[in-house]
Amino acid sequence: MSTAEQLTLAPVRTLYRVDDPHTSGRAADGHDASGGRMRHSELVLAVVVHHPGLTAAEIGAATCLGHVAAQRRLSDLKNAHRVRQGAARECLLNGTRMVTWFEVTP
């Protein structure tokens, strides 16, 4: 990513609730500190840019992160105003209706 497009994510403390087990906070802190959260966010964003209109499950499969991890990074990217939700459609992987994801263009 170029400097002008530098990805900024919300503080890690927003990834878990105060009443979550302390292990959730440690896991989130570790994922953020290791750079994994940023790398995964960039990976998910690249898939959204190159394949607009996929569901979280489809993005998870394309990135090998899995549905849950992809959904978490999509939430980060949505909060950073880099992606937006589109209309729901039947997911090609699980057969349920899921929202689609698109890049936010300036």
3-class DSSP state of 16: coil
Domains, the chain, with CATH or none: 21-103 (1.10.10.10)
**Other Cβ atoms within 10 Å of 91 Cβ, number:** 18
Q: Determine the residue type at 8.
A: T
Q: Locate 21 and state its tokens.
A: 């087990």
pLDDT the model gives residue 37: 80
pLDDT tens series, the chain, 106 aa: 433 357 776 655 566 666 766 666 665 665 666 667 899 999 999 999 999 999 999 999 999 999 999 999 999 999 999 999 999 999 999 999 999 999 998 7
pLDDT the model gives residue 17: 62
